[in-house]
Amino acid sequence: MLPTGIDPNSTEILPVAFHPVLWVAAAGVFAVIILQSVIYLRAIRRAGAAADLTDQQVSRAVRAGAVAAIGPSLAVALVAISLLPLFATPAVLTRIGLVGSAAFDVAAAGLAAGTQDAQLGGPTYTQKIFAIGFAAMTLGGIVWMLSALILTPILSKGDQTLRKVNPAVMTVVPAAALLGAFFTLALAETTKSPVHLVTLLVSAATMGLCLLGAKYLKKSWLHEWGLGFAIVVALAVAYFMTTG
Amino acid sequence: MIATFGVIAIVEPIAYYPILGRSAMYQAFMIGNIANKLLPAALIAQTDLDERPGTRRAELIAGAAIIGAVYIHLVTLVVLVGLLGTWLVGSLPPDLIGLARLYILPAVFGAVTVQAVVTMRNVRITVIAAVVAAVITFLVVPLVPALTNFATAMAVIISIVVAWVARSRTDAPPAAPPSAGH
């Protein structure tokens, strides 16, 4: 029978979101990535000999990569922490932190919740909706992996053909798809409540300022931190609007 | 639900293939955060070891740098998000958590939309997508509530069609745009 605390209609999502099975799965994802990196590193050392690359130089490249990744990793961590209340640790670690990305996974979960006439977060956010949202993220990830493995060789041939036929296809179609999707998701939020509208605008404005700052003040770290800052500032404004 | 997965299944790979290209697709699907974390790490390591992209040696250096970046990323996630973040969220008052849950979507989508607009650098498509999305959200959905679940799918398809028909025919093909997400 079902373990205690599992009730599809309960809005207390933590018993499901912190379910031991999810922790095991999250640990599995980490283990696979660590293993993959170990195997890659050994292969690189072996191949390096033939390509005039010493072991010391490989180690130096690993160190340089590690140092370069500190800032961006902290920026990703900030975004991930802000999503913890919504999806809890195992889902956030695997989907937002590693395999997926904040933008697409939140969009996928939100769309899936919408098909059940529910919203992420609100009073309709039950264990069932969490499960459906998480399944949508994961299925999106599976499709992503399958297309990476199966479609990439096909697309890369098609890519050359498409580019020959009409280079505009490759720029117009993805841009229109991405912008159409995010504008619709953003505008749908504005119809929920005035606080949602202001939160959206503050988030957009903060991001805009960060990107302008990155460009004109030549502070490229603002680029990486934009999403994290925008989420924190927008949530803070939402807090003051609802409590003040 | 099938409609949702269909939308994701179609939009995600098609939207990202031309942006990421072939080799990055293979890497991106497992590690994620390619554009903001792995590429800079690879470039810095190549500069550090005085190698220009395109050679076999540069490829190996990039691979090693990405491994270094991945280890830092894993440690950051476990320590800051897994341990510190979980503790923080667990110790915050429940109504604060509820508030974060309620308003996290507009807080994410506002920023991400601006990021997508800036990344794409295409005024014409931006205007088309914004108008299409506005018409669907503020006219079509209120008039035909049954279409609510298909709003995003419709906006994506209509944006593609309109952007294609109305595309600038004199534009030189721009360079591949950088990734906006994965």
From chain A, the residues in CB contact with B108 under 8 A are 83, 102-103, 106, 203, 227, 231
Q: Which residues contact A151 (CB under 8 A, 6 or more apart)?
A: B13, B17
How much is the pLDDT for A163?
A: 52
Domain presence at residue A200: no
Which residue on chain A is closest to B80 by alpha carbon? A77
The mean per-residue pLDDT over the stretch A210-214 comes to 91
Contact B65 A179 (CB under 8 A): no
Domain presence at residue A216: no
From chain A, the residues in CB contact with B29 under 8 A are 99, 141, 144-145, 148
- At position A221, the amino acid (one-letter code) is W
Q: How far is CA A62 from the centre of its chain?
A: 25
Domain presence at residue A2: no
List chain B pLDDT tens, one digit each, 182 residues: 444 444 545 555 554 444 444 444 555 455 655 555 666 677 777 777 777 665 667 777 877 888 888 888 888 888 888 888 888 888 888 888 888 888 888 998 899 899 888 877 889 999 999 999 999 999 998 888 877 777 887 888 898 889 888 877 655 444 444 444 44
Q: A15 pLDDT band (50/70/90 cuts)? A: confident
Domain presence at residue A79: yes
Give me chain A's average pLDDT, please. 81
CA nearest to B79, candidates B92, B69, B88: B88
Contact A177 B78 (CB under 8 A): no
Contact A208 B112 (CB under 8 A): no
How far is the C-alpha of A179 from the C-alpha of A123, rounded, in Å?
29
- Three-state secondary structure of A44-59: HHHHHHHCCCCHHHHH
Angle between helices A102-115 and A167-190 (to 10 degrees): 60
> Alpha carbon of B30 to those of A35, A58, A141, A148, B67: distances in Å?
12, 22, 9, 10, 13
Q: Is A165 on the interface with B (CB under 8 A)?
A: no
Domain presence at residue A182: yes
- Count up the domains in chain A and report the number: 1
Q: What is the tens place of the pLDDT at every residue in A24-79?
A: 888 888 888 888 888 888 888 888 888 788 888 889 988 888 887 887 788 788 88
How far is the C-alpha of A166 from the C-alpha of A162, rounded, in Å?
6
CA nearest to B37, candidates B13, B71, B12: B71
| Cβ–Cβ under 8 Å, residues B9 and A140 | yes
How much is the pLDDT for B18?
A: 45
Domain presence at residue A231: no
Among B1, B71, B114, whose Cβ lies nearest the Cβ of A132?
A: B1
CB-defined contacts A:B, below 8 A: 461
Among A111, A211, A234, whose Cβ lies nearest the Cβ of B106?
A: A234
Contact B115 A231 (CB under 8 A): no
How far is the C-alpha of B45 from the C-alpha of B80, rounded, in Å?
25
Domain presence at residue A144: yes
The mean per-residue pLDDT over the stretch A6-25 comes to 82
DSSP for A81-147 reads HHHHHHHHHHHIIIIIIIIS-HHHHHHHHHHHHHHTT--SSSTT--HHHHHHHHHHHHHHHHHHHHI
Contact A227 B33 (CB under 8 A): no
| Cβ–Cβ under 8 Å, residues B34 and B24 | yes
Asked if residue A213 has pLDDT above 60, the reply is yes
How much is the pLDDT for B182?
A: 43
Domain presence at residue A235: no
Between positions 86 and 115 of A, the ones with CB within 8 A of B are 86, 89, 92-93, 97-104, 106-108, 110-112, 114-115
**Owning domain of residue A71:** 14-192
- Three-state secondary structure of B104-158: HHHHHHHHHHHHHHHHHCCHHHHHHHHHHHHHHHHHHHHHCHHHHHHHHHHHHHH
How far is the C-alpha of A155 from the C-alpha of A172, rounded, in Å?
17
